[in-house]
Amino acid sequence: MKKVAIVGAGQSRYGEFPDKGIKELFFEAYKDMTASVDKGIDSKMIEASYIGNLGSGGFQLGNMSALVSEYCGLPHIHTMRIENACASGGYALVAAIMDVLSGTHKVAIAGGVEKMTDVSGSKQKYWLGVSGDTEYERLAGTTFSGLYALIAQRHMHEFGTKREHLSMVAVKNHKNGAQNPKAQFQREITLEQALKGPIVAAPLNLFDCCSTTDGASAVLVCDADIAKQFTDTPIYVGGFGTASDYLAIHDRVSTVTLEGTRRASERAYKMAGLTPKDIQLAEVHDCFTIAELLAYEDLGFCEKGKAGPFIEEGHTQIGGDKPVNASGGLKSKGHPIGSTGTGQAYEMFNQLRGTVEKPTRQVKNAEIGLVHNVGGSGGTVSVTIMRR
């Protein structure tokens, strides 16, 4: 459609920062975003902000989008906190796109921030457990690793997916993340290490699970008509789609399909006039290794049940025909919940413009990419297609 453009993107370092709160973290992303605008931006032009956030560490729960915007010197704008669990950032991006499409504002920030590492263990379990169906899942004793473990068990049972296939996701994403100076874990792991991590929820071990992370990200969304004021190389929104699903896994038609991903991507492809084959690279929601395998299938990159062979054949490596999570993904780059969706957009912005910091991590000559953000165990999903 090319009616909405992205003209800047920024991200804080992802990691553990005991000396930084949500204001400082978001400001780091905001500064990085404004610095990325080739021809500069006067902050007076920024009329709106949409901030994804789940819990702010239980610290600043109300009005936090106004607070972080104020801290960036934007005290009187239109601002909203969007919360859709781990998909909060992806939906913040969609909300900013809709705002610009509606003609209400010309220039808006889509961003996200999360401060997770200050939260104590028991509180963390609580905050992370609140995104499934509380009455039927959390209070029955499930955890998120437990829910994704159920999905993994069933996928292995139905399709013969191997333990090694899960670990291949971790190895690939750590390899990419090792080249990303903003990633939480900048080190490679071997397949042997990945296979032998301590069990978290069988079959998922430590190396199948993403971490808790502090971080923030922001992208500058504007009306495509004025994009060239900011840069000669804007990235355009090709299409977007969202879909929710039953929160509780037991309510769903299938345990091994995220219906939200299937429907959200179908809507995004339709709006963009594209098919899965047209997508040259993607950032997908790999909160657990099994989640990346599901994404391959539900986004239509391979047939249902064939994600194991798909990763094994190397398609999704940098250098393969459909690189996935060149940033390191949630697994290695980190998963600061509210920031994850717009962090993916930050990566895609740079990949499509050819401005990734390290050439070893740059996917060459890509024109069309997709970002995919999942809330909870699939209760909410957003997909946005970005193109040169």
Query: Cβ closer to a copy of itself: 28 or 83?
Result: 83
Alpha-carbon span 116 to 56, nearest angstrom: 7
Query: Cβ closer to a copy of itself: 73 or 160?
Result: 73
Three-state SS for 292? helix
Note the Cα 73 to chain centre separation in Å.
26
Query: Cβ closer to a copy of itself: 40 or 273?
Result: 273
Name the catalytic one among 105, 285, 335, 372.
335
Query: Cβ closer to a copy of itself: 65 or 327?
Result: 65
Closest CB 138 distance from a copy of itself, rounded Å: 9
Q: Which of 243, 256, 290, 302 binds a copy of itself (CB under 8 A)?
A: 243
Alpha-carbon span 66 to 73, nearest angstrom: 11
Q: How many CB atoms lie within 10 A of CB 322?
A: 20
Closest CB 130 distance from a copy of itself, rounded Å: 4
Beta strands in 323-365 (DSSP E): none
Mask 248-267, x = binds a copy of itself (CB under 8 A)? ---x-------xx--x----
Alpha-carbon span 117 to 121, nearest angstrom: 9
Q: Which of 132, 234, 334, 341 binds a copy of itself (CB under 8 A)?
A: 132
Alpha-carbon span 208 to 206, nearest angstrom: 5
- Residue 42: CB partners within 8 Å, gap ≥ 6? none
**What are φ and ψ of residue 57, in 5° steps?**
60, 20
Sheet holding 107-114, edge to edge: 48-52, 107-114, 215-223, 4-11, 235-244, 380-387, 368-375, 281-283
Cβ burial 38-69 (10 Å sphere, 16+ → b, else e) = eeebeeeebbbbbbbbbbbbeebeeebbbbbb
Mask 41-60, x = binds a copy of itself (CB under 8 A)? -------------xx---xx
Name the catalytic one among 72, 86, 210, 302.
86
Q: Which of 39, 40, 135, 270 binds a copy of itself (CB under 8 A)?
A: 135
Is 335 annotated as catalytic?
Answer: yes
Is residue 76 within the footprint of a copy of itself (CB under 8 A)?
A: yes
Q: Which of 297, 380, 384, 386 binds a copy of itself (CB under 8 A)?
A: 380
Is residue 101 within the footprint of a copy of itself (CB under 8 A)?
A: yes
Which positions from 309 through 348 interact with a copy of itself, judged by CB under 8 A? none
Largest CA-CA distance found in the chain, in angstroms, rounded = 56
Residues near a copy of itself, by CB under 8 A: 21, 54-55, 59-63, 65-67, 69-70, 75-86, 91, 95, 98-99, 101-104, 127, 130-135, 242-247, 251, 259-260, 263, 375-376, 379-380
Give me the active site residues, please: 86, 335
